[in-house]
Amino acid sequence: MPIECKDVSFTYAPATAYEIHALKNINLRIEDHEFIGIIGHTGSGKSTLIQHFNALIQPTSGTILYNGEDIWGQNYNRRTLRSEVGLAFQYPEHQLFENDVLSDVCFGPMNQGLTREEAEPEARKALLQVGFKEKNFLKSPFELSGGQKKRAAIAGVLAMNPKILILDEPTAGLDPRGRDNILDQIAELQSVRGITIILVSHSMEDIAKYTRRLIVMNQGEVVYDDAPHEVFSHYEELEKMGLAAPQVTYLMNGLKKRGLPVDLKADTVAEASKSILKALREVDSPLLKEGGSHV
């Protein structure tokens, strides 16, 4: 079920002193089973864009098609759309409200018309799939740690069985371990459920590790839409937008300039490590000879 944006523009407070052109002529197509990263600094329009995907915001001009249908068409059911295109916002505190986690996660499915009995299995499945421990199911959502709240909030959207799951900064405020856990879980979800994941993040490192397509937003426009390593090769332009490529990209470029034949496509620690080792062997580096016992 692809999403398509055709010439989508959005203006906040049009014709006033506070007018902001948040999106300018966006053209995009999101295919099934993709794992997409969206990056851009605050105010770049990325949050506005994702809220267009599930009809929380109506574009000022242009059309958005879901599965070929205009989602702002006359008889289009936008509530059904919202359960097919799930959006989990950045702050779990903005959605958790029930007495216990399980009931909270049932909220979405029950809004879809399921009874509590029918909703509960969906909720349980979703909670387990995001790595939420069963022993905490009946805890109050307000007693949870930051990471657990985040999981409960994502499960709250996942339980509605969306075909596309949009995650706005799922790792903000989490510590490194919590961050890696949750991203691993999301990556697994993508393959287990076969759904499309759109990950909005500030972290280039996370995007490089998990996604296969990266959309860079700046001043309401899509500036890059390509494989992450291709986007990172424009690291100088990214810096001008207040963004930065992963540290590894800078290192690889620096090494290449100094004559080490490394692969510039490497944008994760694992890839870089492999490529550097290979390059060091090619140039017969003294660094390997002295201590290279188990290579």
What Cα–Cα distance (Å) separates residue 83 from each residue in 68, 108, 109, 219, 289?
Answer: 17, 8, 9, 29, 59
Alpha helix stretches (DSSP H) within the chain = 46-53, 78-84, 101-111, 116-129, 146-158, 176-193, 204-210, 228-232, 235-240, 247-257, 269-282, 286-291
User: Which range, of 28-36, 172-180, 188-196, 223-231, touches another protein by CB under 8 A?
Assistant: 172-180
Rg, C-alpha atoms of the chain: 22
CB closer to another protein, 27 vs 143: 143
List binders of another protein among 50-69 (CB under 8 A).
Answer: 51, 54, 56
User: Which range, of 25-33, 61-69, 121-129, 167-175, touches another protein by CB under 8 A?
Assistant: 167-175
CB closer to another protein, 68 vs 113: 113
Helical pair 146-158 and 116-129, crossing angle rounded to 10 deg: 130
Position 242 contacts another protein (CB under 8 A): yes
Q: CA 154, CA 75: separation in Å to the nearest integer?
A: 29
Q: How far is the CB of 146 from another protein (least distance, A)?
A: 6
- The residue whose two tokens read 């090619």 is 282
Q: Site for another protein (CB under 8 A): how many residues? A: 74
Q: How far is the CB of 272 from another protein (least distance, A)?
A: 6
CB closer to another protein, 191 vs 240: 240
User: Taking a C-beta distance cutoff of 8 angstroms, is the pair 36, 199 a contact?
Assistant: yes
Position 83 contacts another protein (CB under 8 A): yes
Q: How far is the CB of 295 from another protein (least distance, A)?
A: 4
Q: CA 157, CA 151: separation in Å to the nearest integer?
A: 10
CB closer to another protein, 147 vs 220: 147
CB closer to another protein, 18 vs 74: 18
List binders of another protein among 107-166 (CB under 8 A).
Answer: 107-108, 111-112, 142, 145-147, 156-157, 160
Q: How far is the CB of 90 from another protein (least distance, A)?
A: 9
Q: CA 38, CA 204: separation in Å to the nearest integer?
A: 10
List binders of another protein among 208-227 (CB under 8 A).
Answer: none
User: Which range, of 10-18, 122-130, 189-197, 217-225, touches another protein by CB under 8 A?
Assistant: 10-18
User: Taking a C-beta distance cutoff of 8 angstroms, is the pair 30, 24 a contact?
Assistant: no
CB closer to another protein, 191 vs 203: 203
